[in-house]
Structure 1
Amino acid sequence: MKFRNFQFLSIIILSLLVPQLLSAQKMPGVKIGISETNIPLSFPLVEQDKAATIYIDAKDAEVVAIAAEAFKNDIHLLTNLTPSVKKGNENLSAYPVIIGTLGQSKVIDHLAKTRKINPLSLQGKWETFSISVIENPTKGVKRALVIAGSDRRGTAFGVFELSRMLGVSPLNWWADVKPALKKALYIKAGESVVGPPSVKYRGIFINDEDWGIQPWAAKNMDTDVKDIGPKTYTKIFELLLRLKANYIWPGMHPSTKAFYFYADNPKIADQYAIVLGSSHCEPMLRNNVFEWAENFEHEYGKKPGEWRYDLNKPEIAKYWTDRVQQAKNYESVYTVGMRGIHDGSMPGPKDKNEKVKLLGQVITDQREILNKYSTKPVNSIPQIFCPYKEVLSLYQAGLKLPDDVTIVWADDNHGYVRQLSNPEEQKRSGGSGVYYHISYWGAPHDYLWLSSISPSLISYELTKAYQYKADRLWVINVGDIKPAEMETQFAMDLAWDIHRWEPQKAYLYAESWAAEIFGAAFAKPIADIKAVYYRLGHEAKPEHIGSVNITDAQADERLMAYEKIYNQAKKLADQMPERLKDAYFELIFYPVQGAYLMNQKILYAKKSLLLAAKGDQIALSYSKKAKDAFEQIKLITKKYNEEIAGGKWNGIMDYRPRKLPVFDMPKVAESIAAQPTAQTKENKPVLISAAKFKDKFAAKGTVLQSINGLGIGGSGMSVYPFTTKSISENALNTAPFLTYQVDFETAGEHQVEVKCLPTQGVNNGIKVRYAIAVNGDQAQVVNVAPASENNTWKQNVLQGYASGITKHQVAKAGKSVIKIYLLDPGVVINQLEIK
């Protein structure tokens, strides 16, 4: 009898609780989803030719209204229906979309107070948002779709995240990704809470813009000022919000006037809630190239003195102070320190110690300016110090940085981070971050034309940085944005959630990304094309193919691989729906075809000369192929600029940025030698992929990980976690190792070249070492990290690998065992080449 009473009581309690659970949508694990059919308890966003009305609070941040308008336009893109956007919390419809920020929106605060949304999931959190479907949230409302943010950017990110879920790509404007039309849209019942991000400040650097985004913006966007101005930045800032990014280093080359020169630029940045910064060589938000070297007289009525702080402190300090006063009401991150007017070393004393002392004084004085003229205490104002190029040596020489300044470690300009925080630096309150290139102008060779740094490499280096506590700020040098759209999106997705695309999973990104943009049917074929494209680009970027030494056989293999993915890409182009043809050309076909043609041009020209010297008549046909490839590059670039998207991108693509020799037509055979030369036979070495090991060992707490898409050959082996301690040369018995079996045709001396990813030591004093033994002989220890920016480093970054060569005595022909020990964190073994 008691049991029956308990059952009855339980039913009554459940009947009271279930409606409450449904109304707040707090069922564990139930996240919102998207459907084109009506499912019980789903929210009708678009139904029966009617779109739900969007409501925001008039007193909420400007970016919330901007996001709401963009969402309205996204619904129109998806359905040809345009919802209304209303500023106010009164007279809500029966099925409203409610968008607002906790503490800034009356209706959101009411929903939090009544526990219709959980305030604890948002309160005090950085850029966090919830998207939920709520039953009977307020009087007169049957069901609401609620997007609530912990702060102004959190709200905007929530709006754009829902757009992305509905089928609007973040690249919808920047790469003409048109979504498929839908007759109805429903949001499945549930609640999704997203955030905070893994990296606090995440953004891009518009750089080397002279041949792409600047001439394009002048011709098509900011036609009044003929520059990158407010109209262009409006589109850039929207892209950042759609990528859940929050930070920018604006364009700053001599072709571009300073960001602050156009008064609307910082205002629009604030409206879009984008945090303003300035590059490694632009202290205190000042663009020296324009504001000191060119426009100083216009601003101050006199010519500037020397750009030397030890000789001209008062004038330079005023110059910085004026910008701080101008920027004090905007959200900014200040770069502290000093370099040359542009990208050069700081003028000053010749003695290195004196220069370190002067740089320390510069930073002290800059912080005094911030403390005096900003609205917050100096230790609460975000500041970064970027030890880029020669500045790293000054830092290593003993520069003392204030504890709250964020150290932004730089890569070597080619995707390999030079140094990360050691255990003591990791304790600093300012933390650290990374400045990382996927586009570059400089030695040993630019790569400004095409984007070819793979998600696997980006993830490997930036995940390594994250494990060394570089989580405060990431800024990615993206050049002109185009054609680095996918790589930029990947970097921002990784910065938002570091665990989503860890190195061992990063090769899967291309398929996920392609499915989102082009649909599931095209995803795997596009991913297969991109995998080969990235592998070939790692082994020699299209811009670098003229600077590496490859054999005739390697050239043939390379061209065959390019031909295969080109044919695959062309076949997909023919199958692509009309709405996606422009996007496909921009994102996939142009980079693949351009890289293929560049390789044809260079390698066929080289082949024509070799064959002509041998007296082979076929040489002239290769000359023609090289010339044809050169002309085709011009034609496809003309198509990009003048035909794609109706000429929208006219000026964005230059097939020869800086007019470097690699972009010219190389010398080809015009005649055949009278006497053929003797044929020489290439002795092909034995190549073993590092992933094709026979056995492996890793100590407890570590993993020997195979990483697809990383390095030459398309894969690499590395030790996780990145924070694994280095192993002494005297303790090889504790080191992780890989073994490989090889058949030697002869006894005697043999050479083993171990090709590794050209990474740098994780911090000062740590090397990139492996040890190798053959058939149990004395292990030889090799460090593959060269001195910074010497000739070995230059060759390494161009060819995509660093290597060690060891010689071994093999007693007899037949099966032998090669054992390779991985001694330092960050070492990646890609390939063994055996002679």
Structure 2
Amino acid sequence: MCNTVRAPYPTPSPSPSGEGGRPLANVRFRPALLSRRGGAGGGVGRRSLWLTTLVLLLVGHSSLAQAPLTAPLTATYTPQNFPLVHAHRAAPLCLDPRDAEVVRVAAEAFAGDVALVTGVRPALQKGVGRPPAGPAVLIGTLGQSRLIDKLVASGKLKTDHLRGQWESFVIEVVERPLPGVPRALVIAGSDRRGTAFGVFEVARRMGVSPWVWWADVAPAHHATLYVQPGRLAPGPPSVQYRGIFLNDEDWGLRPWAARHLDKDVQDIGPQTYAHIFELLLRLKANYIWPAMHPGTKAFYHYPASPVLADRYAIVVGSSHCEPMLRNNVFEWAENYQQEYGQKPGPWRYDLNGPQMYHYWEDRVKQSADYESVYTVGMRGIHDGSMPGPASRPAKVHLLDSIITDQRRLLGAYHQQPVPQIFCPYKEVLTLYQEGLKLPDDVTIVWADDNHGYIRQLSDKEEQKRSGGSGVYYHLSYWGAPQDYLWLSSISPSLVSYELSKAYALGARRLWVVNVGDIKPAELETEFAMDLAWNVGRWSPATAAGYPLHWATATFGPKLAPAIAHIKQEYYRLGHAAKPEHLSGVAFTPAEQDQRLAAYQKIAAEAQALQKQVPAALQAAYFELILYPTQGARLLNEKVFYAARSLALAQQGQGEALAYAQKAQAAYDQIQVLTRHYNDGIAGGKWAGMMSAHPRDQKIFEMPPVATPALVAAGKASAALASFVAAGPAPRLIPATAYTHKQERAGEKLTQLPGLGLGGQGLTRLPYDVPSFAAPDLTQAPYLEYRADLPAGPHTIAVRCLPTFGLYAGRGLHYAISVNQGPPQVVDVNVPADSKQWKENVLRGFSQGQTTHEVSAAGPATIRVYLLDPGVVLNQLQLD
């Protein structure tokens, strides 16, 4: 009970209309079956509940271009509705001071959210004394809040489904919960994070975006807020630990933080992390790998940082090259002498084991009182291979001894088992495949290839391990074959396909996503966290609908369809070559024209749509929609127009100079847009965050262009002009344009909108279906296509998503025949870091080629068998 007596709460009067008599619509979240479906086996428990879903009835001024809810609003009052805000009064927020600190953190943020929406800030009342005289919001954690436990004991609140569950919560309107309280909105969690997630769930449902601060997404204003009777009980989450890795922060997050939030330390410090941790809670995330690049001091270097993480109930881990929560770039290579009074020895455990053991031990002791996930194993000081013996067997033996010693440390300072992960990233995967035997309770965190395609997942034996598995996934990357640090263009469809595949093969313990500087990957980050919370909500077959869902919640239903279309085209074009990767992909002139026309179309649409965006959302629209769309368009124009100017100059054509001017104009406009991002929106809030040339890569420079002298000479350097590929556009058949298909019992040939080249993929689902090989090839599911072919030999290229076999020993085979000829088998699974892999990830597809003899001209039947699960067919290319 709250310890402050308040005047009687004003009784709302029924009214058929909103303020000023203007009728508003009614929002009703109807009863729904909430289900978290997982595959066979373990992971976090699942539960299906028939629930009457929470209803928020928001009454006041609203706009379809700034809607806070995905359903209609109403002004209709019924006596059963809980008045969260009415007549300029807000129901107080009551919590037990003995509850976890994150409960107070969430309640304070929620009070600010209510004030942002209504202009009225609820009082925050801590204590269990006398109740308020009127409706109240009761917030607390089961077993930690006396308020909540009293409701349970009296039978007013049913919590059987919460007990023992991970991060679950219930939101319910309860009649007469306490003496003197006629009605309460109760938000109760199974644990401290569950309570916080419940609080922020109500905030989301009243229109407050997780990006309210990080992307300036202002909610619509409403004078009154009501909650209709009902019960919402989400959880537990699909994935136990869900979070982000702050990485490559050199050109955005760190200089911005030093300029705005952590001026005293000129770094990413506690003030910045406070905002990041709140964002994570709003996203229902719970885990972080802190920033760790050279120039960024270690998370633990600032004593307030781990204390702050605990206050926000965020679990702290460390990246694949930072064992035992140690940031080696700073703490070993730079600050060791300051910390220990002597220089460190070599970063080699076989030569300097005692010193490294003590170095790790100190962090284990320091972090023992906090929720942490410890990375075990060892790599180089910063994202390099582990120094040590030359041979792989010797390296495996050394790695085994390192992990044994690290676990001994954890056992010495932790009373309970502590979560541990091993990330076989890059060269470490080779050592794991060489025979490293991990303790059964260590979670294997499988990594993608840095470009969104998971290299390997757990086989059937590995799926039995008690530690389970997880995924380290990239939305941003610095490295080979080319960076993508500027814009964010990996689609929800690809994220869903890869992470849903991982989940199906047991990766349910931990997902961590490399989000770079956080901005501009807001949509993609939110999608990954939404998927981790409820993996069944956005399957590979439905993930293409996420941009519409997100745009509706962010910009309202009026603008959402147009925004969703822009984003879908943006993802389709980016899959064929990210803007940062244009110099590594050869397009014919016809393909260049198609790309330019498509980019120019969505850029024009985005520019025109801006006029309809409310003033309060203009900054958000620029950050989330306009800048990435225009930036991608302009970079394509710069590269293609520059190359075209040189090609025309070789022919001595004066038109070359016009294209040179267009290229220069595109380059200049990128600089103008970026300056506007930093200095022209949100009052300069983001100054220093956006760089138009991260890592000063060549792709961001102004390329060579035609000059009058080159045109006069009628030639230019062949090297400069070699970017333009000659030849007509290829003849393509989309995978979904089949004329017949044959499926097997228990599986489907499933279309995946938005996935892969051309924006359409087709694959076998579920993921655990069998593979086929000779002599049973023709028993595999297949698709048939029709095409007119002249007599003679024909080469057919099959383009597929450039992913990997499901796990070690599995391939990505298809078989193809023409006019019932003998099937030819092709494997499009290629080793990561190979030359072919580099080409594949830049152009967005892997490809197999076969040659077939056609005896007579006319319609031909092309049959493609999908022999392995994991093959995603995108296109057939005919010669």
The match for 2:823 is 779
Partner of 1:548: 585
Alignment map for 1:297-312 (pairs within 5 Å): 297-312=337-352
- For 1:818, the aligned partner's letter is I
Q: How does 1:498-513 map to 2 (within 5 A)?
A: 498-513=535-550
Distance 1:217 1:200 in 2: 30
Deviation sequence 1:166-218 (CA, Å, 0-9, x none): 00000000000011110111011100001000000000000000000000000
Match of 1:454 in 2: 491
Paired residue for 2:859? 815
Aligned-partner Cα distance in 2 for 1:683–1:59: 72
Q: Is the 8 A contact 1:328 1:375 kept in 2?
A: no
Distance 2:713 2:265 in 1: 61
- Cα separation, 1, equivalents of 2:730 and 2:348: 56
| Counterpart pick for 1:411 among 434, 445, 448 | 448
1:33 aligns with 2:65: no
Contact 1:616 1:676 in 2 (8 A): no
Matched, 1:176 2:220: no
**Pairing of 1:127-526 with structure 2 (within 5 A):** 127-376=167-416, 380-526=417-563
Whether 1:732 and 2:777 are equivalent positions in the alignment is yes
Structure 1 residue identity aligned to 2:801: L
Q: CA deviation at 1:42?
A: 1.2
One-letter amino acid of the structure 1 residue matched with residue 502 of structure 2: A
Q: Which amino acid aligns with 1:58?
A: P
Aligned partner of 2:249: which letter?
Answer: E
Mapped contact 1:712–1:831 kept (Cα < 8 A)? yes
TM-score (norm 2): 0.91
> Is 645-654 or 784-793 further displaced after alignment?
784-793
Residue in 1 aligned with 2:103?
A: 64
Gaps of 5+ in 2: 1-47, 59-74, 717-723
Contact 2:588 2:729 in 1 (8 A): no
The residue identity in structure 1 corresponding to 2:87 is: Q
Equivalent residue number for residue 49 of structure 1: 88
Opposite residue 63 of structure 1, the aligned amino acid is V
Structure 1 residues 28 and 331: CA distance shift in structure 2, 3 A: closer
- Cα distance per residue 1:670-695 (max 9 Å; x no partner): 13255699x99834432111011111
Is 1:707 the counterpart of 2:755? The answer is: no
Q: Are the counterparts in 2 of residues 27 and 190 from structure 1 also a CA contact under 8 Å?
A: no
Letter in structure 2 aligned against 1:279 = S
Q: Deviations over 1:614-655 (max 9, x none)?
A: 232211111000000001111100000011100000100001
The residue type paired with residue 523 of structure 1 is A
1:77 aligns with 2:77: no
Q: Is the partner of 1:530 in helix, strand or coil? A: helix
Match 1:604 to one of 626, 641, 660? 641
Query: Does the 8 Å contact 2:778/2:865 carry over to 1?
Result: no
- Partner of 1:120: helix, strand, or coil? coil
Give SS of 1:45's match. Answer: strand
SS in structure 2 of the partner of residue 443 of structure 1: coil
Identity of aligned residues (%): 57
Q: What SS does the corresponding residue of 2:508 show, helix, strand or coil?
A: coil
With normalisation by structure 1, the TM-score equals 0.95
Matched, 1:656 2:693: yes
Contact 1:329 1:375 (8 Å CA) reproduced: no
- Residue type at the aligned position of 2:813: R
Once the 2 structures are TM-superposed, how far is the Cα of residue 755 of structure 1 from its aligned partner?
0.5
CA contact (8 A) 2:757 2:875 kept: yes
- Which string of whole-angstrom CA distances, capped at 9 and with x for unpartnered residues, describes residues 296-351 of structure 1? 00000000001100000100000000000000000000000000000000011001
Describe the shift of the 1:683–1:639 C-alpha distance in structure 2 as closer, same or farther (beyond 3 A): closer
Instruction: Note the C-alpha offset of 1:27.
Output: 11
Preserved CA contact (<8 Å) 1:172 1:178: yes
Amino acid at match of 1:641: N
Which of 836, 839, 844 is 1:792 aligned to? Answer: 836
Query: Quick one: which of 684, 688, 691 aligns to 2:733?
Result: 688
- RMSD (Å) for aligned C-alpha atoms: 1.5
Structure 2 residue identity aligned to 1:732: L
Query: Structure 1 211/675 Cα, relative in aligned 2: closer, same or farther at 3 Å?
Result: closer
What is the letter of the counterpart of residue 343 of structure 1? D
Query: Which region of structure 1 is more displaced relative to structure 2, 134-143 or 702-711?
Result: 134-143
Alpha-carbon distance in structure 2 between the residues aligned to 1:680 and 1:406: 47
CA displacement 1:815-835 (0-9 Å, x = unmatched): 001000111111100011101
Matched, 1:622 2:659: yes
Aligned AA (1:411): D
Q: 2:787 maps to what in 1?
A: 742
CA distance in structure 1 between the partners assigned to 2:483 and 2:175 by the alignment: 57
Q: Deviations over 1:572-616 (max 9, x none)?
A: 111110000000000000000000000000011011111122232
- CA–CA distance in structure 2, aligned partners of residues 788 and 122 of structure 1: 44
Give the whole-Å Cα distance in 1 for the aligned partners of 2:783 and 2:194. Answer: 46
Q: Give the superposition deviation at 1:28.
A: 5.3
Q: What is the distance in 2 between the residues matched to 1:107 and 1:29?
A: 23
Task: Tell me, in whole angstroms, the C-alpha distance in 2 between the residues paired with 1:58 and 1:812.
Answer: 84
2:139 is aligned with what amino acid?
Answer: I
Greater per-residue helix proportion: 1
SS in 1 for 2:245: strand
Instruction: After superposing the two structures, state which structure 1 stretch, 62-71 or 803-812, moved more.
Output: 803-812
* Structure 1 consecutive aligned stretches of length 4 or more whose deviation exceeds 4 Å: 673-677
The whole-number CA distance in structure 2 between the counterparts of 1:587 and 1:144 is 37
Secondary structure at 1:521's aligned position in 2? coil
Q: What letter matches 1:135 in structure 2? A: E
1:708-761: CA deviation from partner (whole Å, max 9, x where unpaired): 1001101100100011121113212220111001011x2101111111000101
Superposed CA offset, 1:451-473 (max 9, x none): 00000000000000000000000
Partner of 2:808: 764
Q: Which runs of 5+ in 1 are unaligned?
A: 1-25
Whole-Å Cα distance in 1 between the matches of residues 725 and 483 of structure 2?
34
Are the equivalent residues in 1 in contact too, given 2:452–2:490 (CA < 8 A)? yes
Q: Secondary structure at the match of 1:306?
A: coil
**How many residues matched?**
806
